[in-house]
Amino acid sequence: MTLVQRFAALAALAVAFLSPSARAQHDHAGHDHDHDHDHAQPAAMEVAPSDVEPPATPAGERLRWLVEGFDGDGEITVDGLFTDEFFQAVPADQLARVLNNFRVGSRGFALRRINEESPHRLVAVAQARADGSMWRMVVGTQAEPPHLIDALFFQPAPDEAMGPLENWEQADATLREVAPQSSLVIFRLTPEGELAPVHRFNPDERLAIGSTFKLWVLGALAESIRAGEHAWSDNLMIEDAHRSLPSGVMQDLAHGAERPIEEFARQMISISDNTATDHLLSLVGRERVEAFMRPTVAAPERNLPFLATREIFLLKLSEDETLMQRYASADVEGRRRILEEEVAGKAPNIMMAGGWTGPRAIDSIEWFATGPELCRLLVRLWRMSDEDGLEPMRGVLGLNNGLGLSDEKWTRTAFKGGSEPGVMSLTWVLQRAAQPGEVEGPIFAVSMTANNPGAMLDDMRLVGLAQRIMERLEKQP
């Protein structure tokens, strides 16, 4: 497993410190498995010692524990250090495995800067000794002793080498450099609920969006709950027929295990769990998801038939070298026949994922939308989450804001990201904290997507750009 793959394991599994916007959040197999170890480790870089020491606060002491664990040779253990709620989202054994993968991959960290937001929350910037890469670590603890960790977030921090955005055109220029096909749209919601443009770059570009498609599944599920057909508390059973490949954790559950529908939804959005997604897609039905999707995009046929993650794995990891091309060139009915006759009932071969090292048919076998369409979609779900009976959607959409954004600066957030080799898509709706003279803070909708059908993207640079965009929006009139 490469250094990036080890770092990928961390972000692919952990809810509260997930960065689904980075390379670490590829929604495909082969990027987050701890069985693919390197047998020969290259020498670590010469990295200067830490510039700062953790503060003598609850959050600082937890940061010290973490850094010392990463620097050590022994296994990191997590028992008794995290809240029950954290372990409900990320079981202790999985969290420990991920942290130890990160320990091996990073070779330890040197702290470069610490920003204290309060005694119980801090943001540290650290440099990995393995390759000199910069990382942002957010640590949050409960206010009451023993100050258990209730938030932990790791994110590549390429923006540390990137200056602030002086204007939006700088963001456009970066996107042009990173990808041949890209889009960035930023809107501010008006009091009437309309999307007023703040900035638009290639707003009509219809691009592959990766796991951002899961917002359509969530919307169809919410409609079925609104109609009384299902309830958030209803149990849903894990079935082998809907077991997919990572990212996620639910693929590891046994056939017959039951979890509440709300947990499936939370895992689908917060950590982009593919197995959770395919179970919910089966629950509400492909036809219902397609019906929810159609009016939200100008070219719905690009997303028909609406693919499950298991199906896209079977298409892109098939031993039949003709399958992808035949599916891509078929009309909608022809595609449905291929799914029924050649894909249904089969399980994806994870051993084939090792060769998935570059983009595969991202312009034809994917899910597609424009930036404005994604913003309108997420705004719609944001509003639905205010309805009686749909309130759990607030937690589903807001559990992971994608960048470890501060609750003090952004009082409410909704986020979904998606990626595969050659694809990255990031969409937010978020409300800024009220500033002097404001009754309540403004609400922004942001969507940034980059596609490269011929080569891998510089995901780290895109993450840095996203961070700078949010920093600029903190001051946007």
Virtual CA dihedral for 93, 459, 154, 399, nearest 10 degrees? -80
> Is residue 362, in this structure, part of any structural domain at all?
no
pLDDT, tens digit (0-9, with 9 covering 90-100), for 100-154: 988 988 899 999 999 998 999 999 999 999 888 888 899 999 999 999 999 888 8
Residue 267 has pLDDT above 50, yes or no: yes
Return the exposure string of 262-274: e unless at least 16 CB atoms fall within 10 Å of the residue's CB, then b. bbbbbbbbbbbbb
d(CA 419, CA 410): 24
pLDDT, tens digit (0-9, with 9 covering 90-100), for 414-445: 999 999 999 999 999 999 999 888 889 999 99
> Is residue 201, in this structure, part of any structural domain at all?
yes
Neighbours of 175 (CB within 10 A): 21
Q: State whether 182 and 147 are in the same domain.
A: no
pLDDT, tens digit (0-9, with 9 covering 90-100), for 141-161: 999 999 999 988 887 787 776
Residue 33 has pLDDT above 50, yes or no: no
Which comes out higher in pLDDT, residue 275 or 2?
275
Residue 5 has pLDDT above 50, yes or no: no
pLDDT at residue 171 in the model: 97
Predicted model pTM = 0.78
d(CA 99, CA 13): 10
Q: Which of 355, 383, 416 is the last residue of a domain?
A: 355
Report which of 205, 213, 211 is spatially closest to residue 185, judged by C-alpha positions. 205
Q: State whether 192 and 256 are in the same domain.
A: no
338: part of which helix (H) or strand (E)? helix 332-338
Q: Measured at the alpha carbon of residue 396, what is the angle toward residues 392 and 399, in degrees to the nearest 5?
A: 125
> Is residue 282, in this structure, part of any structural domain at all?
yes
Q: Which of 355, 379, 412 is the last residue of a domain?
A: 355
pLDDT, tens digit (0-9, with 9 covering 90-100), for 280-314: 999 999 999 999 999 999 999 999 999 999 999 99
Q: State whether 134 and 87 are in the same domain.
A: yes
Q: Which amino acid is at 298?
A: A
Write phi, then psi, for 341 (nearest 5 degrees). -95, -25
pLDDT range class, residue 200, cuts 50, 70, 90: very high
Residue 9 has pLDDT above 80, yes or no: no
Q: State whether 151 and 7 are in the same domain.
A: yes
For residue 49, the SS3 value is: coil
Beta strands in 108-180 (DSSP E): 109-118, 121-128, 134-141, 149-156
Which CATH number does the domain housing residue 314 bear? 3.40.710.10
Residue 38 has pLDDT above 80, yes or no: no
Tokens representing 80 are 């008794």
Q: State whether 221 and 347 are in the same domain.
A: yes
The pLDDT mean for the chain works out to: 88
Q: State whether 204 and 220 are in the same domain.
A: no
Q: Which of 112, 135, 156 is the last residue of a domain?
A: 156
Strands 368-369 and 207-208: antiparallel
Which CATH number does the domain housing residue 7 bear? 3.10.450.280
pLDDT at residue 161 in the model: 67
Alpha helices in 179-285 (DSSP H): 214-226, 261-270, 274-284
Give every CB contact of residue 235 below 8 A, 6+ residues apart in sequence.
Answer: 258, 259, 260, 261
> Is residue 361, in this structure, part of any structural domain at all?
no
Give every CB contact of residue 319 below 8 A, 6+ residues apart in sequence.
Answer: 349, 352
Q: State whether 18 and 69 are in the same domain.
A: yes
Neighbours of 471 (CB within 10 A): 15
CA 42 to chain centre: 29
Residue with tokens 């969507």: 447
- Dmax over CA atoms of the chain, in Å, equals 64
> Is residue 128, in this structure, part of any structural domain at all?
yes
> Is residue 277, in this structure, part of any structural domain at all?
yes
- Helices 309-316 and 274-284 meet at what angle, rounded to 10? 120
Q: State whether 312 and 415 are in the same domain.
A: no
Q: Please state, in angstroms and as integers, the Cα–Cα distance from residue 375 to each residue in 227, 427, 430, following that order.
A: 25, 7, 11
> Is residue 162, in this structure, part of any structural domain at all?
no
Question: What residues make up the domain containing 277?
Answer: 216-355
Q: State whether 146 and 70 are in the same domain.
A: yes
Q: State whether 146 and 193 are in the same domain.
A: no
- 465 close to 162: Cβ distance less than 8 angstroms: yes
Residue 457 has pLDDT above 90, yes or no: yes
> Is residue 163, in this structure, part of any structural domain at all?
no
Residue 17 has pLDDT above 80, yes or no: no
Q: Which amino acid is at 60?
A: G
Burial of 165 (0-12, 13-18, 19+ CB in 10 A): middle
d(CA 233, CA 259): 9
Write phi, then psi, for 65 (nearest 5 degrees). -60, -40
Q: State whether 42 and 68 are in the same domain.
A: yes
Q: State whether 87 and 136 are in the same domain.
A: yes
Residue 7 has pLDDT above 50, yes or no: no
| Average of per-residue pLDDT across 33-59 | 69
How many domains are there within the chain? 3
